[in-house]
Structures are given as structure tokens and as C-alpha cells.
Amino acid sequence: MKPITKRYEVLGDDFTHAGEASGKVKSMLRQLGYNSDAIRRVAIAMYEGEINMVIHANGGYAEVSVYPDRVEVLLSDTGPGIKDIELAMKEGYSTAPDEVRALGFGAGMGLSNIQKYTDDMRIESQVGVGTNMYMTILAQRPE
Amino acid sequence: MSLYYHSVTLDEDRCKGCTNCIKRCPTHAIRVRDGKARIISERCIDCGECIRVCPHHAKRARFDDISRLKDFKYTVALPAPTLYGQFNNLSDIDYVLTGLLNMGFDDIFEVSKSAEIISDATRRLIKEGALKTPVISSACPAVVRLIRVKFPELCSHVLPLLSPMQAAAIQAKGEAREKTGLPLSDIGVFFITPCPAKVTDIRSPIGIDASWVDGAFSIADIYPVLLEQMNKIKTPLPLAHSGIIGVSWANSGGESSALLQEKYLAADGIENVIKVLEELENERLTELEFIELNACPGGCVGGVMAVENAYVAKARIQRLRKYLPVSLNHVEGDSEMRRYGWNAPLEYAGVMKLSDDLEEAMRMMEEIDRLYKLLPDLDCGSCGAPSCHTLAEDIVLGDAQLNDCIFILRQEASSAGIALSPLFGKKMKKEGTINDR
């Protein structure tokens, strides 16, 4: 079956809008009657990714494709890129600025959380060019 | 009783078919059809927002008439603590309670007493680690119903304890039976409340099979009669028996502060409640142990059937409770704990979904997207739906058609050679601008 594909702009200039795209995806999945655990995992993983894009990359876009058995998300930005992906994936590692930490973000849990909630994730990044993050969330997680 | 009994109803004669209620409904449960507002039953959570915003007073809540007292041999009033905040210069809660007796009730039982019991039970359950944290309060029936229709992952976080109202009814009926020897069916307990959602919770309760409360009177209805009685009292009877904790439940933050710890959040007003629930669903508030949510601004004092402004009432309650003891009611042992527990967990009702079949829902979603692109994205409400997107959903669900949109209608008329411009005024934009977004 052809997926439902939606594209959302993630505005980088205003931190207060962060999290809007994942919120919209959540209500769409609920209307579709998607598995509620999968909805939760999509919403959290995408939220974390969205926050990262706003903090580090001045925004970008999110493209979400909904299949009956899975949700695929692409988060794409033209930000500074990630120098060392393996290091960035480590729990607690963060390069977030202080003003963002003051809001409770930047604990260095974003990427590891995404990994935890998705069934597959892949990061393509080039320093100075940007980052593409692909994630897949299965409607039913294998036991 | 039906799952979808509602206390909020429409007075057709007063309804002008305007857009105020459809725009403010937090679950998009209202449409205007044939010039009158219509509530989509399974989505309504009885929060009362539509009653609050209707400028024509066409939205009402079904409360009981005081004549129902005659249906019982012995009657008990259950005053919500919010009632105490409605009177100017009140120095003693006993005036309110004595006034209730003088207006025809045989006895009174303060809901604030049971609120203290529920607070004690909550403290115990949290201490035992028996609950999934953060625990969400179950006291506001509109919030519980909101979670049931919109937040599946949070259903298991809702405190599985009866509301103080139901707990008070159990205690009051037991005491009255003891005192009078009458069977329970001859004893009528009536809640006095500012809240339409409580009426729904009496008719169609969550967590217990049948309600212990026999009916509800609104504060607004009872106020003039009660005030008259209160003004005649020379020496009130010493009836009040609750402390700061119980009385404070009327205000947002009252239930939380009764837990005697800081890891809580208290939010009020339905929009704020929804934002907090979304944060919770995104697992952003894991450091908290307790979440108190009230649909009305300020808490129960902000209920739509209160007489006094919420913040004035709050200030009065703060003054009234000043010299009260902290708490006068406690849970006596495990058997009493069990009396106030839910007998079934809260279950999600997926009323927002388009179809039970996922692939069918996906096809419908695609059609919604296609239709939505044709609409002007003005969310004007003239079609009777709260937004262009909900109109697109309604069309796909077979409850509306595309030319319910006046802009589409104008387009269709103009392509049929009918000039509608006099109807829409001369400064109307050129045709064809509808898709130019």
C-alpha cells in the first residue's frame, strides 16, 4: 500500500515552536487508529530529533511516511553537521548551549533516546553541509 | 447507563448557530448543522467550556430540581468546598452547613471530609510505590474523560481512587443508615456543585459500577434559597469537621499540597491541561510524582455553575481555612482503603480514529488531505466545523459536503454564472484565489 507522506517545516529561529511537527504527527496517527505504543515511540523519537534540529541546526524539515506496518521519518537539516557520530550517540554527551540547558534540554540523551524508541536509525552527516537522520518505527515491535 | 450520557445540553430556541462554542470545544465535539449547534456525543467530555463561552446562554447543564428531595425519606446534602467561597463576609463554614439543614435537608456531609480521606489514601499508595508515576489525579471528571478519549498511554497513570464526591456519598449513606435504620434506597444524597461534569459522573461513573450519589444541585440554583436561610441564622450548629487539606481541594493546587511533598505539578484551565498531558505523553515530566489537573480555570472554584468569580472565591477560601486544623479525617486501615478504590482501570476509547481498519483509515486520510488543500485555511467556522481540517474530516466521514464551505460555494456559483458578489460585498477578492496559499 502507498504510504501517506507528509512534510513539515521545522522552524529554527524560534525555539518555542519546537515539538509542533511531532505533535501533528501524533494526532494524525491517532486518527488513523495506529498502535498506541508505536504512536508514543514515534512522537518521542521525532520530538527529540526536532529539538536537536532547532538547537543545533537552525531548523530544517521532517518528512514522515506512514505505512500500515511502520512509520519512517526523515529529519533533514543544513546545519553544521556532526563531527563524530559515535561520540554524539553516547549518553550524556552534549554540545548544547547553556541557555538551552536552562530549559531542561541538552542533557545529552537525545540521540540515545531516539535509538531506544526506534527500531532502526541511521545518521548521515557532513560537517558544514548538514545532517539527515532516518528512523523507522514498527507498528508492532517484535518480542 | 450509556457510556455517553451528557449533562451538557442545548436549548434550541436560544441557539443562534454562531461559531463560539465550536471554536472553543477542546475535543472538537460540536458542529453547527441546520443553524443549530450539535454535540458529537462520544467526543464530549462535559467540561462545560461551551456553557462558559455561549453568548446566548443556549448551552445548559442538566442538574436536578430541588423538588427531588421529596423522593426520599431522608436526604443528605454533600456540599463541595467550592460552595464555601461563594459568600461575602462568611466567617464560619457552620453558617453554610446550618443553612443547608434549614432549607430542607435532613443532614449534611462535607465533601471536604472525604477529600481528606482521598488525600490520605493517595499518600499511602504513593509511599507504597503501588502506582505508576507520575500519578494523574482522578478528581476532575472532565480531565478523566479527556484522557479516556485522547491520551491512551496515560490511562494507566490515572489515580485509581474514587473522587471525594463518590467517597462522601458512600460515607454519608452509611452514616444515615446507621442513624435512621432506613434502607439505602430511602436515603437520598445530593451533591452541591458548580460542575456539569460531576453530573455526568453521577449518571455514568468511571471506576465503579453505579454511583452512590442520587443527584446534583447546581450552586447557582441553590444559592438564593441558601443565602436567605443563612441570613436568618443566629447561632449556627457546630457541624464542620474538616481541615485545611479538605477545604483547599476547591482550588487548583489544593489536592497536590495535601500530598506534603514538592514533586508535583498543578495545572488548571482545559487548554493548559491538554498541554501538560501532551508533555506527559512525551515523557518529559518523569521527575514528578503527582499531576493535579482541573479543567476549570482556578480549579473547582472556576466551575461554570459557581456564582462568584473563581479568584474571589479562592481568596475567600484561603481566609476561611486560616484557623482550621491541618486535617481531621484519615483512612482507618486497609479495609477502608479498599472501599475507595476503583474496581476497573480506565480504558481508552478511541473516538478520534477514522476507521477500525488501518488501511481504510489511510485512504480516508489521503482524501482528507486532498479536500483540505481545496479549502481556504481560514478556519472561519461558517461551514459549522471548527476548522477547515475538521470540515475535510467531516466530508470524508459523510457528515458534510464540500460546498458547506462558503468560499467553495461562491466558486461553484460563479462558474455556474451566478453572480454572488452583491452577497459578499464589492471588495471581495477575485475568484480563484482560494488555492493560492
A4/B281 touch (CB, cutoff 8 Å), yes or no: no
Return the closest-CA partner of residue B81 out of B35, B51, B119, B32.
Answer: B119
What tens digit of pLDDT does each residue of B241-263 get?
999 999 999 999 999 999 988 99
How far is the alpha carbon of B348 from chain A, nearest alpha carbon, in Å?
A: 10
B282/A1 touch (CB, cutoff 8 Å), yes or no: no
A43/B282 touch (CB, cutoff 8 Å), yes or no: yes
> Residue B421 — very low, low, confident or very high, per pLDDT cuts 50/70/90?
low
A40/B281 touch (CB, cutoff 8 Å), yes or no: yes
Please give the average per-residue pLDDT across B88-107, as a whole number: 95
Q: Which of B153, B359, B366 sits opposite A36 (nearest CB)?
A: B153
Find out whether B363 and B173 touch, Cβ atoms under 8 Å.
Answer: no
Residues of chain B with pLDDT > 70, as a percent, come to 95
What tens digit of pLDDT does each residue of B340-391 get?
999 988 999 888 889 999 999 999 999 999 999 999 999 999 999 999 999 9
Q: Which residues of B touch A30 (CB under 8 A)?
A: 150, 152, 350, 352-353
CA gap A125, B282 in Å, rounded: 26
Q: Where are the domains of chain B?
A: 8-61, 66-339, 358-435
Q: Is A138 left (phi over 0), alpha (psi -120 to 50) or beta?
A: beta
B361/A33 touch (CB, cutoff 8 Å), yes or no: yes
The b/e string for B174-195 (b: 16+ C-beta within 10 A; e otherwise) is: eebeeeeeeeeeebbbbbbbbb
Q: Which helix (H) or strand (E) holds B265?
A: strand B264-268
DSSP reduced 3-state for A97: coil
The CA-CA-CA angle for residues B198, B132, B285, to 5°, reads 90
pLDDT of residue A105: 76
Class of domain B358-435: mainly alpha
Q: Is B107 left (phi over 0), alpha (psi -120 to 50) or beta?
A: beta
Report whether CATH 3.30.565.10 matches the domain A4-138.
yes
Please state, rounded to an integer, the average pLDDT across all residues of chain A: 88
Phi, psi of B5 (to 5 degrees): -65, 140
Return the closest-CA partner of residue B97 out of B273, B236, B2, B261.
Answer: B236
Report whether CATH 3.30.70.20 matches the domain B8-61.
yes
Beta bridge partners of A7: A63
B362/A33 touch (CB, cutoff 8 Å), yes or no: no
Q: Which of residues 36-55 of A touch B (CB under 8 A)?
A: 36-37, 39-40, 43-44, 47
Q: Which of B352, B358, B362 sits opposite A30 (nearest CB)?
A: B352
- Please report where in the chains the cell 507522506 appears, as a residue: A5
A32/B152 touch (CB, cutoff 8 Å), yes or no: no
B352/A31 touch (CB, cutoff 8 Å), yes or no: yes
CA gap B40, B107 in Å, rounded: 39
Q: Which of B283, B359, B393 sits opposite A68 (nearest CB)?
A: B359
CA gap A123, A117 in Å, rounded: 15
pLDDT of residue B424: 55
Angle between helices B164-180 and B196-203 (to 10 degrees): 60
> Residue B211 — very low, low, confident or very high, per pLDDT cuts 50/70/90?
very high
How far is the alpha carbon of B284 from chain A, nearest alpha carbon, in Å?
A: 9
Residues whose CB falls within 8 Å of the CB of residue B255, separated by 6 or more in sequence, listed in order: B115, B119, B137, B139, B248, B249, B266, B292
Please give the average per-residue pLDDT across B300-320, as a whole number: 95
What tens digit of pLDDT does each residue of B81-90 get?
999 999 998 9
Strand B215-218 and strand B187-193: the pairing is parallel
Phi, psi of B184 (to 5 degrees): -55, -30
CA gap B277, B275 in Å, rounded: 5
pLDDT of residue B308: 96
- Please report where in the chains the cell 462535607 appears, as a residue: B110
How far is the alpha carbon of B43 from chain A, nearest alpha carbon, in Å?
A: 13
Residue B414 half-sphere exposure toward CB, CA atoms < 13 A? 16
B350/A33 touch (CB, cutoff 8 Å), yes or no: yes
pLDDT of residue B3: 55
DSSP reduced 3-state for B219: helix
Is it the case that residue B412 has pLDDT exceeding 60?
A: yes
What tens digit of pLDDT does each residue of B323-339 get?
898 999 999 888 888 89
How far is the alpha carbon of A105 from chain B, nearest alpha carbon, in Å?
A: 10
Q: Which of B150, B281, B366 sits opposite A43 (nearest CB)?
A: B281
A40/B350 touch (CB, cutoff 8 Å), yes or no: no
Q: What is the pTM of this model?
A: 0.87
CA gap B152, A29 in Å, rounded: 12
* For A104, nearest residue in chain B (alpha carbons): B284
Is it the case that residue B409 has pLDDT exceeding 50?
A: yes
DSSP designation for B430 = P
What tens digit of pLDDT does each residue of B40-62 get?
999 999 999 999 999 999 988 89
Phi, psi of B213 (to 5 degrees): -90, 135
Phi, psi of B188 (to 5 degrees): -105, 125
A19/B282 touch (CB, cutoff 8 Å), yes or no: yes
B365/A1 touch (CB, cutoff 8 Å), yes or no: no
> Residue B437 — very low, low, confident or very high, per pLDDT cuts 50/70/90?
very low
What tens digit of pLDDT does each residue of B261-291 get?
899 999 999 999 999 999 998 888 889 999 9
Is it the case that residue B11 has pLDDT exceeding 50?
A: yes
Using CA of residue B275, residue B277, residue B283, residue B287, what is the dihedral sign? Answer: positive
Q: Which residues of B touch A34 (CB under 8 A)?
A: 358
What tens digit of pLDDT does each residue of A62-92 get?
999 999 999 999 999 999 998 888 888 888 8
What tens digit of pLDDT does each residue of B136-175 get?
999 999 999 999 999 999 999 999 999 999 999 999 999 9
User: In whole angstroms, how far apart are CA B150 and each of A26, B155, B348, B365?
Assistant: 11, 10, 8, 18
CA gap B304, B289 in Å, rounded: 29
Q: Which residues of A touch B153 (CB under 8 A)?
A: 36-37, 39-40
Q: Which of A40, A66, A104 sits opposite B362 (nearest CB)?
A: A66
A103 interfaces chain B, CB cutoff of 8 Å: no
A19 interfaces chain B, CB cutoff of 8 Å: yes
CA gap B380, B387 in Å, rounded: 7
Beta bridge partners of A49: none
SS3 content of chain B, % helix, strand, coil (to 5): 45, 10, 45
Sheet strand arrangement including B135-136: B135-136, B290-294, B264-268
Q: Where are the domains of chain A?
A: 4-138
Q: Which residue type does B272 have?
A: N
Strand B264-268 and strand B215-218: the pairing is unpaired
pLDDT of residue B416: 82
